[in-house]
Structure 1
Amino acid sequence: MILAFVEHTGGTPTEPSLEALTLARELAADTASRLDAVVFGAEGAATADHLGTYGVETVHHADDERLDTYAPEAWAESVGQLVDTEGPEAVVAPGTDRGQEVLAHVGAKRDLPVVSNCLDVEAGETYELARQRWGGSLVEHAVLDSETKLLTAAEHEFSPSEADTVTAPTVRPFTLELDESDFRVSVDRVEESDTTGVALGEARVVVGGGRGVGGPDDYDKLETLADRLGGTVGASRAAVNEGWRPHEDQIGQTGAKISPDLYIACGISGAVQHMVGCKGADNILAINTDPEAAIMQKADYAVVGDLHEVVPELNAALGKEP
């Protein structure tokens, strides 16, 4: 059995979880195994219909109301106990902060190796893997040999793909033996962002601004461009450090990973940490006065010019009646 760790919002699996499910289903096919999933939270059982379209046969629902909010050690112990009883060949989690953290705890508690940020996996007696290292600047090839293999799928590297045959998963609550010490760390509240519009990680068009924007007020023209393209605005780490944009807008290794159809990078140099966050974009358009800037070499399209002149021209063109 291949077990997928699935995160969800109100019973709807998250996009990174669907990416991990796609990888997990490929491994299940390669090893002639069934595909199961483990979910947490009061609405976890509601994921069954969604997961059936990805070929999941059984949804293991953690049956403990204390697990309705995220507690990394408790969730990891729950997955570990499921591994003990079900003996899956592999556990696949999304390459999110939560997915990485849970599997790291599972590996530490069960003395199992973990391979994170996988780009490609070939199943056999041992697993041959390619994974991202050093913020995506290095691809490592490794062999994973363990009774139960723990791995996470690098975000935006596996396109979610539904199964050829839809299943009707059985929801199977499982009971747990958890100590209060497992809940030493837990989420006690979630504060919703007051930002309106399309979420950065879900936007099909992202307009990013860096130090070259010049200041917080100059983001207005980027907001206009994003609005006319039906997208949202992001920022480089430099702009966030200056206090021009909130951290939730940051794109990069220590910010959001995006995979839009189009990423328009305005006044951004293209440091490797930033490129880690935007390399999932289908197309990158860079606007920069420096033709030698790193992002100009990596972009699909480039405009050598002052963003304060180029962006208003784009806004004017997009604002004209057809």
Structure 2
Amino acid sequence: MILVLVETDASGAIEVSREALTFARSLGDAGGGIPVDAVVVGDVADALRDQLATYGVRTVHRVTGDAFTSYAGAAWAAAVQEARRQAGSVVVMAAGTPRGNEVIAHVAAREGVAMAANVLSFGGLAPFVVTRQVVGGAALEEMRLDERPAVFTVAGHAVEAQPAPARADAALVDCAPAVSESDLVARVVSTEEPEPDLSGSLRSARVVIGAGRGAGSADGFKDLLELTDLLGGSLGVSRVVTSLGWRPHHEQVGQTGSRISPDLYIPCGISGAIQHWAGCSSAKSILAINTDAEAPMVTKATYAVIGDLHEVVPAINEEIRRRQG
């Protein structure tokens, strides 16, 4: 049995959790039809249950109770461990989100097994071998998971979320884990909404426009923001931009910011230091705009335009507007 921790929002299972379910289903198929179960913390509405059924989930383990009114990583791990016991799962996994990585790390510690984070693919099943991102995504590593349960997280956009060929039952069962006071020592006590993102979530954006020191100043983002709007994307910036106070920290891409996996990343005026590359290396295509033809970002990019972003970006915007009529 394969058990997947599914994170949700107001619209249902978040995209990276649906990707994790797709990954789990392919793993189950490779193993001869191993069923996939899901564990969800919180109420399971009919719409969510229906959505999980379309992704091939056999059973949904619903976790509710006073201990789960706010997020606590250790308590969620207790829930996942109890759901694993109920299902008899030999694989436990989640999307490689901040919560997914924390909870699955707790589960691995409780089970006394190794954990693989940010897995991209799997190889043989006997032994079970996975390929994962390491060194901030700058390198790949093959890792054998000999112990059971096999415990890992899936890197964002490692696979495309795809409904199952055939709908499953998604039978609903309640999961009542034993939660101790120590499981609740570290927990969320309040939340604050971030400053509005011009075009939605940076982590899930399919197009990201990047901006670095080449923007020149806090007033140098007008054309970049217009390009972001024209392409329906999100703006992401380098660490120097946030350090200088030109843009808010929640827009930062890199080792100490967001890790993105868009279909297209357009870094403008970003040299491409390893810390920034750690956050954007999973982009499917990169179009770098930079005055330095030898900049690391340019040499690693799929395509590059050598020029001043303040000349190149307005020209791109004008052409897009012309084609849009």
TM-score, with length taken from structure 2: 0.93
Amino acid aligned to 1:239: V
State the match for 1:308 in structure 2.
310
- How far did 1:44 drift? 6.5
The SS at the match of 2:56 is: coil
Name 1:71's counterpart in structure 2: 72
Contact 2:212 2:268 in 1 (8 A): yes
Deviations 1:249-299 (A, max 9, x none): 011222222233322111001122222322333321111110001111122
Q: Which residue of 2 aligns with 1:15?
A: 15
In the alignment, what sits opposite 1:41? Answer: 42
Indicate the residue corresponding to 2:100 in structure 1: 99
In 2, are the aligned partners of 1:30 and 1:123 still within 8 Å (CA)?
A: no
Cα shift readout 1:289-319 (whole Å, capped 9, x = no counterpart): 1000111112222111111221222233333
Taking a change above 3 Å as real, the CA distance of residues 147 and 231 of structure 1, as seen in their structure-2 partners, is closer
How far apart in 1 are the matches of 2:101 and 2:89? Answer: 18
More moved, 249-258 vs 86-95: 249-258
Task: Find the residue that maps to 1:70 and give its secondary structure.
Answer: coil
CA RMSD, 1 decimal: 1.8
Question: Is the partner of 1:83 in helix, strand or coil?
Answer: helix
Within 5 Å, give how 1:156-235 maps onto structure 2.
156-195=157-196, 196-235=198-237
**Distance apart, 1:62 and its partner CA:** 0.9
Shift of 1:240: 1.5
Structure 1 residue 118, shift from structure 2 partner: 1.2
Give the number of aligned pairs. Answer: 322
CA distance in 2, matches of 1:271, 1:44: 44
Letter of the 1:62 counterpart: V
**Corresponding residue for 1:146?**
147
**One-letter code aligned to 2:26:** E
Query: Amino acid of the residue matched to residue 319 of structure 1?
Result: R
> In 1, distance between residues paired with 2:45 and 2:90?
23
Identity fraction in percent: 43
Between the aligned partners of 2:256 and 2:132, the Cα distance in structure 1 is 18
CA positional deviation for 1:11 = 5.7
For structure 1, the 5+ residue unaligned runs are none
1:247 aligns with 2:249: yes
Query: TM-score if structure 1 supplies the norm length?
Result: 0.94
Q: CA shift at 1:46, angstroms? A: 4.8
CA contact (8 A) 1:112 1:148 kept: yes
Task: Return closer, same or farther for 1:35/1:123 CA change in 2, 3 Å cut-off.
Answer: farther
Distance 1:52 1:85, change over 3 A: closer
Distance 2:234 2:175 in 1: 41
- Please say if 1:90 is aligned against 2:91: yes
Partner SS, residue 207 of structure 1: strand
- Choose from 283, 290, 293 the match for 2:292: 290
Distance verdict in 2 for CA 1:242–1:295, change over 3 Å:
same
Which amino acid letter does the alignment assign opposite residue 12 of structure 1? G
Task: Please tell me whether the aligned partners of residues 41 and 69 of structure 1 are also in contact (alpha carbons under 8 angstroms).
Answer: no
